[in-house]
Chain A
Amino acid sequence: MTRNLICINCPMGCELTVEFDGGKVISVSGNTCKRGEIYAESEISNPTRTITTTVISVEGRPVPVKTAQPVPKGMIAECTAAIKAAEVHLPVKVGQVIIDDLLGTGSQVTVTKSVQ
Chain B
Amino acid sequence: MREFDIVIVGGGPAGMAAAVSAREQGMENIVIFERDNELGGILNQCIHNGFGLHTFKEELTGPEYAERYAEKVRDMNIPYETETMVLDISKERVVTILSRNRGVEEIRAKAVILAMGCRERPRGALNIPGFRPQGVYTAGTAQKLVNCEGYVPGKEVVILGSGDIGLIMARRMTLEGAHVAAVAELMPYSSGLKRNIVQCLDDFGIPLLLSHTVVDIKGKEKLEGVVIAEVDSTNTTIAGTEQFYPCDTLLLSCGLIPENELSKNCGVGIDPRTNGPIVDEGLETDIDGVFACGNVLHVHDLVDFVSEEAARAGESAAAFVKRGCAPDSTSAIKIVPKNGVRYTVPAEIHTADLLGDVHIRFRVTGVYKDCSIVIKAGDDELVRRKSRILVPSEMLDIIIKKEKLESVSCDITVEIEEV
Interface residues of A (CB under 8 A from B): 6-13, 15, 32, 49-54, 56, 60-62, 64, 66, 73, 76, 80, 94, 112-114
**Do the beta carbons of B47 and A13 come within 8 Å of each other?**
no
Partner-binding segment picked from B2-10, B108-116, B190-198, B230-238: B190-198
**Do the beta carbons of A54 and B147 come within 8 Å of each other?**
yes
Sample of 8 more A-B contacts, CB < 8 Å, known A62-B149, A66-B61: A6-B197, A8-B198, A9-B195, A53-B176, A54-B47, A62-B148, A66-B47, A112-B47
Task: Check: B242 CB closer than 8 A to any chain A CB.
Answer: no
Q: How far is the CB of A32 from chain B (nearest CB, A)?
A: 8
Can you show 25 pairs from A to B with CB atoms below 8 A apart? A6-B194, A6-B198, A9-B195, A10-B53, A11-B193, A11-B194, A11-B195, A11-B301, A12-B394, A13-B194, A32-B388, A49-B199, A49-B203, A50-B59, A51-B175, A53-B47, A53-B175, A54-B147, A61-B150, A62-B149, A62-B150, A80-B175, A94-B67, A112-B61, A112-B64
Interface residues of B (CB under 8 A from A): 44, 47-49, 53, 59, 61, 63-64, 67, 146-150, 172, 175-176, 193-195, 197-199, 203, 301-302, 388-389, 394
Chain A residues within an 8 Å CB radius of B61 = 52, 64, 66, 112-113
**Do the beta carbons of B47 and A56 come within 8 Å of each other?**
no
The DSSP consensus for interface residues of chain A is loop
Chain A residues within an 8 Å CB radius of B198 = 6, 8
Chain A residues within an 8 Å CB radius of B48 = 52
**Cα A50 to Cα B49 with chains together (Å):** 8
Chain A residues within an 8 Å CB radius of B172 = 53
**Cα A11 to Cα B197 with chains together (Å):** 11
**Do the beta carbons of A64 and B47 come within 8 Å of each other?**
yes
**Do the beta carbons of B394 and A113 come within 8 Å of each other?**
no
Chain B residues within an 8 Å CB radius of A113 = 44, 47, 61, 63-64, 67
**Cα A30 to Cα B317 with chains together (Å):** 42
Q: How far is the CB of A108 from chain B (nearest CB, A)?
A: 14
Q: How far is the CB of A86 from chain B (nearest CB, A)?
A: 14
Chain B residues within an 8 Å CB radius of A50 = 49, 59
Chain B residues within an 8 Å CB radius of A32 = 388
**Cα A112 to Cα B59 with chains together (Å):** 12
**Do the beta carbons of A11 and B302 come within 8 Å of each other?**
yes
Q: How far is the CB of A42 from chain B (nearest CB, A)?
A: 13
**Cα A114 to Cα B59 with chains together (Å):** 18
**Cα A13 to Cα B196 with chains together (Å):** 10
Nearest residue in A to B164 (C-beta to C-beta)? A11
**Cα A6 to Cα B203 with chains together (Å):** 12
**Do the beta carbons of A54 and B194 come within 8 Å of each other?**
no
Q: How far is the CB of A69 from chain B (nearest CB, A)?
A: 11
Chain B residues within an 8 Å CB radius of A11 = 193-195, 301-302, 394
**Do the beta carbons of A76 and B147 come within 8 Å of each other?**
no
**Do the beta carbons of A64 and B147 come within 8 Å of each other?**
yes
Chain A residues within an 8 Å CB radius of B49 = 50, 52, 66
Chain A residues within an 8 Å CB radius of B195 = 6-11, 13
